[in-house]
Amino acid sequence: MYIVCSDLEGVFVPEIWVNVSSHTGIDELKLTTRDISDYNILMHRRLELLKKYGLTLRDVQNVISLLKPLPGALEFIDWLRTKTQLIVVSDTFTEFAEPLIRQLGRPTLFCHHLTTDSEGNITDYNLRQEDAKKHVVEALQTLNYKVIAIGDSYNVICMLRKADHGILYNPPQNVADEHNDLKVIKTYLSLKRFISQIIQCEE
């Protein structure tokens, strides 16, 4: 029996930090796990920039409130739920994800959480666990599920390689080039076809 584990940003919704960068004019905030493979380095730099420019959790949440699912994402999720179960496995934070997950029909979400002070400043980030995406796949496999994993950035590579079928969905060229042994799919229609083939072979 198959279950799908998918990243959130870049697959179903726009990149949060890219939009924060656009709204604030802080160019360096546009860097994501599509650009920097070490998530901890990336997050420490983000927190430094938020502190430098006086941006609070509320400021980031105000940008997130403007975001909508990527065109075709809801239709794809609705289709996928007629075939199998979906777990969204993301390196975002519960404090960011709520309005986005709500718009997607509340699929199960595994992610991290933030620490804030009394004034709403983001002072730290707390990983649910190291290599969390990979561990989700491993846990499901111990329950005798086969896993189809979907993602677009450096931070999903371990998950994709651990899954029974790993898919780079519409990745940037640098990620695709460095991991050219992984299957690359660029549209929801092609994703539907590929997943349908996998599930049909199992039946």
Contact 169, 176 (CB under 8 A): no
Strand partners, 85: 3
State how far the alpha carbon of 69 is from the alpha carbons of 101, 123, 128, in Å. 9, 28, 25
**Helix or strand holding residue 125 (H, E):** strand 122-126
Q: Confirm whether 203 is a catalytic residue.
A: no
Task: Please spell the DSSP secondary structure of 1-64, one letter per residue.
Answer: -EEEEE-SBTTTB--HHHHHHHHH--GGGG--TTT-S-HHHHHHHHHHHHHHHT--HHHHHHHH
Q: What are the φ/ψ torsions at residue 200 (nearest 5 degrees)?
A: -65, -35
Residues 9, 15, 91, 95: which is the catalytic one? Answer: 9
Residues 7, 15, 91, 152: which is the catalytic one? Answer: 7
Strand partners, 146: 2
Q: Confirm whether 9 is a catalytic residue.
A: yes
Contact 165, 45 (CB under 8 A): no
Q: Which residues are catalytic?
A: 7, 9
